[in-house]
Structure 1
Amino acid sequence: MTTGGFDPNQGQQQFGGQPHYNGAGQQQHGQQFGAPPQFDSAQQFDSAQFGTQPFAQPDFGFNPSRPGELLPRLGARVIDGLIVGIPTGVVTIVISLVLGTFLGSVLGAILTAAAAVGYFVFLETTRGQTVGKQVLGLRVEGPNGGLPTQQQSLTRNGFYVVAALGGFPFLGFLFGLLGFVAAIIIAVTINGSPTKQGKHDELAGGTRVVQG
């Protein structure tokens, strides 16, 4: 007999009535009151469901060897050109006054070419940067990192020899024109390269100028 539709057996079933068994014969308790979930023996544990996948490495977008841009490199060349050009220009004037214009021009051009190549090769192979590159936060690396070799530095700075020979009498205009064309080619190839490597870097085996 029930009153108002109340079934006393229903309460017993929820609060400690007869236990239930799953298909494997294991006792299964009700989970209405926060009992821990029961897993079937054939059920696989999904680690992704509980967020136990390994964390990905954070990417802060930092690259310690960013390529040197064209404008800072041109600025460094201007600074280095003044460092080399002013002293050699003074010496050339003195030689011309003593030995005459023709001989002074020839010796001055040779001196300028030697001083420029020596300046760049020495500083790049011993420090990785000239004064101009140091001021603007640039440095030269070899194809495999580290300092470039003397041969590599000499190759990438060889166009200075052509440009410096522009002081030669008679043939100076031709050398100067070749030096100007070489500088344009280098600037264009630097600007068009994703790694900012110019034609002179390519000829040197893959040297590059980076920031830092």
Structure 2
Amino acid sequence: MVFCGKCGKDNPMGAKFCENCGATLEAAPVYQQPQTTYASGNWLSHEHAGFLPRLIAWIIDAIIFGVIGWIVSIPFGTNYGYGYGMGYESGFNLGGVGTIITALISLAYFVYFDGMKGATIGKKVMKLKVIGTNGAMPIGPGPGVIRWIIKIIPILNLVAYIWILFDAQKQGLHDKIANTFVVKE
């Protein structure tokens, strides 16, 4: 309906003149939904993070997971206690269980922080964000899982980070496959 500002009558949509008083009707302004992607919020214009800040972020996350892995693995008798009454000597070794639990915690950590929040603890410390190549942030769980899978395969992880040194957009192999960038805040 189109409202007449002169007499107050509602007129059919598209009417040029009021049916009641004949006044010229002005079209209501068209409402446009604001963009909600971070592309409009300027994430794509941020500088891409290079090798060194990303390496430092990775080291921070690796330290976090070294401690978590050690704590989780102790009850299962892994090589952390080898020679001290735990591990192979005592015949008690379920270390694979601790490894699986640590891997699942790692998956949850990276998918949640990279995929749903845009940055792991290491990236937050280094003031970095993970965004989609289309500017979307957060990237979502799918790209988060893809990035994690590349990182847990040792040779691919090495290639992924070395790739950053030679790529014009500073994307690692895991970034290219998951369609993501890491940018500075």
Do Structure 1 and Structure 2 share a fold, with TM-score over 0.5? yes
Partner in structure 1 of residue 62 of structure 2? 81
Paired residue type of 2:115: T
- C-alpha spacing 1:108/1:193, structure 2 compared with 1 (3 Å): same
Runs of 5+ consecutive residues of structure 1 not aligned to the other structure: 1-62, 163-178
State whether residues 116 and 141 of structure 2, in contact with CA within 8 Å, keep that contact through their aligned partners in structure 1.
Answer: no
Computing the radius of gyration from Cα coordinates, the structure with the larger value is: 1
Alignment of 1:153-172 (within 5 A): 153-162=144-153
Partner in structure 1 of residue 160 of structure 2? 186
Of 103, 118, 133, 2:123 maps to 133
Mapped partners of 2:73, 2:151: distance in 1 = 17
Cα distance, 1:159 vs. partner?
A: 3.1
Cα distance, 1:192 vs. partner?
A: 0.7
Cα distance, 1:78 vs. partner?
A: 0.8
1:102 equivalenced with 2:93 (yes/no) = yes
**Identical positions, percent:** 31
State whether residues 114 and 161 of structure 1, in contact with CA within 8 Å, keep that contact through their aligned partners in structure 2.
Answer: no
- C-alpha spacing 1:186/1:160, structure 2 compared with 1 (3 Å): closer
- C-alpha spacing 1:65/1:100, structure 2 compared with 1 (3 Å): farther
- C-alpha spacing 1:148/1:102, structure 2 compared with 1 (3 Å): same
Q: How many residues align?
A: 131
Paired residue type of 1:147: P
Partner in structure 2 of residue 147 of structure 1? 138
Mapped partners of 1:200, 1:84: distance in 2 = 19
Look up the SS of the partner of 2:129 in the other structure: strand
State whether residues 137 and 211 of structure 1, in contact with CA within 8 Å, keep that contact through their aligned partners in structure 2.
Answer: yes
Cα distance, 1:101 vs. partner?
A: 4.7
- C-alpha spacing 1:75/1:101, structure 2 compared with 1 (3 Å): farther
Mapped partners of 1:100, 1:143: distance in 2 = 51
1:119 equivalenced with 2:109 (yes/no) = yes
Cα distance, 1:155 vs. partner?
A: 0.3
State whether residues 121 and 154 of structure 1, in contact with CA within 8 Å, keep that contact through their aligned partners in structure 2.
Answer: yes
Partner in structure 1 of residue 73 of structure 2? 92
Look up the SS of the partner of 1:158 in the other structure: helix
Paired residue type of 1:210: V
Look up the SS of the partner of 2:106 in the other structure: helix
Q: What do the CA deviations read for 1:113-165 (whole angstroms, capped 9, x no partner)?
A: 11111111101222201111011110100121121121101101113444xxx
State whether residues 132 and 139 of structure 2, in contact with CA within 8 Å, keep that contact through their aligned partners in structure 1.
Answer: yes
Q: TM-score, normalised by structure 1?
A: 0.57
- C-alpha spacing 1:148/1:202, structure 2 compared with 1 (3 Å): same
Q: What do the CA deviations read for 1:57-80 (whole angstroms, capped 9, x no partner)?
A: xxxxxx841000101101101101
